[in-house]
Amino acid sequence: MMKKEAQKSDVLIIGSGGAGLRAAIELKDNGVDVLVVGKSKKRDAHTILATGGINAALGNMDPKDSWRLHAADTIKDGAYINDPIAVKLLCKNAPRAIKELADWGVKFHREKDGSITQRFFGAATYRRACFVGDHIGKEVLNILVDQAKKRKIRFKGEVYIFSLLHHKGKVNGAVGLDFRHGRVIVFHAKIVVLATGGHSRLFERSSSRFWENNGDGIQLAYDVGANFMDMEMFQFHPTGMVWPSEAVGTLVTEAVRGEGGILTNTKGERFMKKYDPKRMELSTRDIVSRAIYTEVEEGRGTKLGGVWLDITHRPKSYILKRLPKMYKQFMHYLNVDISKQKMEVAPVAHYSMGGIFVDHTTGKTSVKNLFAIGEVTSGMHGGNRLGGNSLAETMVFGRLTGQRIVKELGRVRWLPLDEKLIKEKEEDLNSMLKAKKGKDPIKVKKEIQNIMWKDVGVVRNARGMKKALKAITKYRKVKLKSGNRLKNNQKLIAALDVKNMFNSCEMIVKCARLRKESRAAHYRTDYKKTSERWKKNIICIPNKYGKGFKITTWKVPEVPKEIKKLLKVKAVKVHLLE
Ligand SMILES: Cc1cc2nc3c(=O)[nH]c(=O)nc-3n(C[C@H](O)[C@H](O)[C@H](O)COP(=O)(O)OP(=O)(O)OC[C@H]3O[C@@H](n4cnc5c(N)ncnc54)[C@H](O)[C@@H]3O)c2cc1C
């Protein structure tokens, strides 16, 4: 018999990163009873990894900047398949988000006159990224947690939500495993918000931590029949660490290049001259990632499959002030002083542009009473994400979605919990515990991640993706043995992760196969050109309650006129060294 607990709240937010917490604050400020659940501890969501900055067209350094130019940059970088309404909302509301964070106590780097300093990020026309050294994410999350505590917002950490509950097609709760105490929790709510983050851990080399970003939110939404958009669009960040083993994938922030970092191959060539002579190291992430990939593939990479990133021309005092986390990271793992030695780097899976389809004007998914915010959603970033835009997204859409839920709540009734469904979900968990034979789920998870990295990674083609799909289909049938403990059982958690990964992987591969072109982050060696015909969004529509899915395409909505005219404006000359 499993130990059980029941929780009830008007709104249940699954995810305690930037997006989840910002929405919770908005709800609480409007008198809503809200409960936030996270897989990790309170101050430990993936958001803390954010390093370089948060974008807003404040115009502090470059007065010519405007929200419209920010929007145009976002759409150009997204290769014209972004949801333009989402982009407009983000860029118009981002300055307000910065002010709010500053008022709450985020200690942004400031100029002598007290204005917030802004720096370049790749593919941005003007300096737009506001920062706190190179640890903006930690600072933002800490402040949000402080604000949530001040408001006495209910929080449950170390709980793995493994299923949503529904009544006649409307979501009304969730079931989770409190793995610290070894008990099942049944959550009853009028509205559920998915703020579960991205799915970069579907790939072997990822900038997230090993227990995060498995695509849980995608599977939870899939299971209740939500629609998905542009799942093939996945951002590979050009620069992650390549060694030691425990640090592989750990991000080397774009801010290093923003501060003037130079990329060279083992022949000492500054190779970005060949790939984007104008923007060089500050080109878009997809171009820089493929450039590094090509240099390595063609034999000009290091033995560990990387290239060199050099910031040694900057004084140590400058590096310690502007890139303190990077300095510590290389000292900690490798005893490398980046003010004197080069960094060895290679691309890593970094950001999920594709995800749950939401109507960004309401935050609603295609399933009743289910909302989604943050990296788990799609549309905002199109085919590629501008660095600094996702923290802005969590703040802006956290607030806006909170406001929309406040309005919606008046129309939503309490729906009874389906005891039969809860029993079924518990049985699923029970059967995992009972398995006497099977493979180690931790190993299986790694094997799937390897397949995705090799065949559906930085560079793709039909042959590789066919192979990946075949392997994923095979792995679905593999029996897993996780041991019979409910409490602190890493194998059980990995088994839940594996179960969550299949549909995300399958949607990514099938959408990537369908998109017969290269566009932004999606690069195919068998279709190298971008095709006007494919200026579309690819939509996955699950069959009733998660039994397979069909794929279709939708026309990208019209870009508002005020932004459209700026799409033709050429970017100003980027100042590599400020
Ligand atoms: C190394 C790195 C550097 C970055 N730098 C920047 C930057 O400089 N600027 C920028 O704008 N963006 C940056 N990003 C991206 C940005 O950090 C993320 O996109 C953003 O923080 C996502 O926030 P989120 O709230 O959507 O999700 P997350 O912060 O990922 O939060 C997800 C939450 O959901 C919970 N969760 C997930 N599954 C479950 C489950 N099954 N049950 C219960 N809870 C669950 C998690 O525990 C967590 O609390 C960076 C990302 C990385 C990895």
Grouping H, G, I as helix, E, B as strand and the rest as coil, residue 339 is coil
Whole-number percent of the chain with pLDDT over 70: 98
Q: How far apart are CA 537 and CA 554, in angstroms?
A: 5
Q: Which CATH architecture has domain 239-347?
A: Alpha-Beta Complex (3.90)
198 Cα to the center of ligand 1, angstroms: 7
Give 253-270 as a DSSP string: -THHHHTT-EEE-TT---
48 Cα to the center of ligand 1, angstroms: 8
* pLDDT for 572 beyond 60: no
Whole-number percent of the chain with pLDDT over 90: 90
165 Cα to the center of ligand 1, angstroms: 24
Q: How far apart are CA 286 and CA 383, in angstroms?
A: 10
* pLDDT for 574 beyond 70: no
**pLDDT-based confidence at 1, cuts 50/70/90?**
low
Mutate to test the pocket of ligand 1, among 7, 285, 375 (most ligand atoms within 8 A of CB): 375
Nearest CA to ligand 1 atom 6: 50
| Residues 65, 58 contacting (CB under 8 angstroms) | yes
The DSSP bridge partners found for residue 547 are none
The 10s digit of each residue's pLDDT in 42-63 is: 999 999 999 889 999 999 999 9
Give 91-141 as a DSSP string: HHHHHHHHHHHHHHT----B-TTSPBPEE--TT-SS--EE-STT-HHHHHH
Tell me the backbone φ, ψ of residue 572, rounded to 5 degrees: -70, 160
The 10s digit of each residue's pLDDT in 10-30 is: 999 999 999 999 999 999 999
What is the structure's pLDDT at 258?
Answer: 85
Q: How far apart are CA 448 and CA 469, in angstroms?
A: 11
CATH 1.20.58.100 domain position(s) in the chain: 419-528
Query: Which residue type, as a one-letter code, is found at position 191?
Result: I
CATH 3.90.700.10 domain position(s) in the chain: 239-347
**pLDDT-based confidence at 213, cuts 50/70/90?**
very high
What is the structure's pLDDT at 576?
Answer: 32
User: What is each CA distance from 357 to 169, 273, 288, 369, in whole angstroms?
Assistant: 17, 38, 28, 14
Q: At what angle do helices 84-104 and 136-150 cross, to 10 degrees?
A: 70
For the chain, the distance separating the N- and C-terminal CA atoms, rounded to the nearest angstrom, is 64
298 Cα to the center of ligand 1, angstroms: 34
The DSSP bridge partners found for residue 264 are 308
| Nearest in space to 516 (alpha carbons), one of 503, 533, 504 | 533
| Average pLDDT value for the chain | 94
- What is the signed CA dihedral for 365, 368, 372, 378, rounded to 10 degrees? -10
152 Cα to the center of ligand 1, angstroms: 23
Q: Please indicate whether residue 62, judged by its CB atom, sits closer than 6 Å to ligand 1.
A: no
The 10s digit of each residue's pLDDT in 357-392 is: 999 999 999 999 999 999 999 999 999 999 899 999
Q: Please indicate whether residue 15, judged by its CB atom, sits closer than 6 Å to ligand 1.
A: yes
Q: Please indicate whether residue 197, judged by its CB atom, sits closer than 6 Å to ligand 1.
A: yes
In CATH, 419-528 is 1.20.58.100: yes
- Hey, what are 553's tokens? 């395409």
* pLDDT for 577 beyond 50: no
Average pLDDT (171-192) is 97
Any idea which residues carry the catalytic annotation? 237, 257
* CA 206 to ligand 1: nearest atom: 53
| Residues 217, 196 contacting (CB under 8 angstroms) | yes
Half-sphere exposure of 439 (CA within 13 A, CB side): 14
Tell me the backbone φ, ψ of residue 363, rounded to 5 degrees: 80, 5
Q: Please indicate whether residue 45, judged by its CB atom, sits closer than 6 Å to ligand 1.
A: yes
The 10s digit of each residue's pLDDT in 477-523 is: 999 999 989 999 999 999 999 999 999 999 999 999 999 999 999 99
459 Cα to the center of ligand 1, angstroms: 25
**pLDDT-based confidence at 570, cuts 50/70/90?**
low
What is the structure's pLDDT at 2?
Answer: 77
Q: How many CB atoms lie within 10 A of CB 294?
A: 17
Nearest CA to ligand 1 atom 37: 196
The 10s digit of each residue's pLDDT in 83-137 is: 999 999 999 999 999 999 999 999 999 999 999 999 888 778 999 999 998 789 9
* CA 350 to ligand 1: nearest atom: 53
Q: Please indicate whether residue 398, judged by its CB atom, sits closer than 6 Å to ligand 1.
A: no
| Residues 30, 405 contacting (CB under 8 angstroms) | no
* CA 131 to ligand 1: nearest atom: 8
The 10s digit of each residue's pLDDT in 447-485 is: 999 999 999 999 999 999 999 999 999 999 999 999 989
Q: Please indicate whether residue 128, judged by its CB atom, sits closer than 6 Å to ligand 1.
A: no
What is the structure's pLDDT at 491?
Answer: 97
User: What is each CA distance from 265 to 245, 269, 337, 344, 345, in whole angstroms?
Assistant: 22, 6, 20, 10, 11
**pLDDT-based confidence at 69, cuts 50/70/90?**
very high
The residue among 570 and 76 whose pLDDT is bigger is 76
What is the structure's pLDDT at 575?
Answer: 37
394 Cα to the center of ligand 1, angstroms: 9
406-414: long-range contacts, CB 8 A cutoff, minimum separation 24: 406/26, 406/27, 406/30, 406/32, 408/191, 408/362, 409/10, 409/11, 409/32, 409/190, 409/191, 412/190, 412/191, 412/369, 413/190, 414/172, 414/188, 414/190
| Residues 334, 306 contacting (CB under 8 angstroms) | no
Alpha helices of 441-524 — where are they, by DSSP H?
Answer: 441-455, 462-476, 490-514
Nearest CA to ligand 1 atom 27: 197
The 10s digit of each residue's pLDDT in 197-206 is: 999 999 999 9
What is the DSSP-derived secondary structure letter of residue 252? -
Grouping H, G, I as helix, E, B as strand and the rest as coil, residue 537 is strand
* CA 15 to ligand 1: nearest atom: 34
Mutate to test the pocket of ligand 1, among 130, 161, 196, 234 (most ligand atoms within 8 A of CB): 196
β-bridge pairing 343-352 and 170-178: unpaired
Mutate to test the pocket of ligand 1, among 37, 39, 164, 329 (most ligand atoms within 8 A of CB): 39
| Residues 194, 14 contacting (CB under 8 angstroms) | yes
**pLDDT-based confidence at 534, cuts 50/70/90?**
very high
- Hey, what are 114's tokens? 């007290």
| Residues 16, 160 contacting (CB under 8 angstroms) | no
- Hey, what are 289's tokens? 């990632």
Residue 445 φ/ψ region, left for φ over 0, alpha for ψ in the -120 to 50 degree band, beta for the rest: alpha
Q: How far apart are CA 404 and CA 101, in angstroms?
A: 21
Mutate to test the pocket of ligand 1, among 390, 395, 399 (most ligand atoms within 8 A of CB): 390
What is the structure's pLDDT at 571?
Answer: 58
The 10s digit of each residue's pLDDT in 394-410 is: 999 999 999 999 999 99
Q: How far apart are CA 294 and CA 305, in angstroms?
A: 11
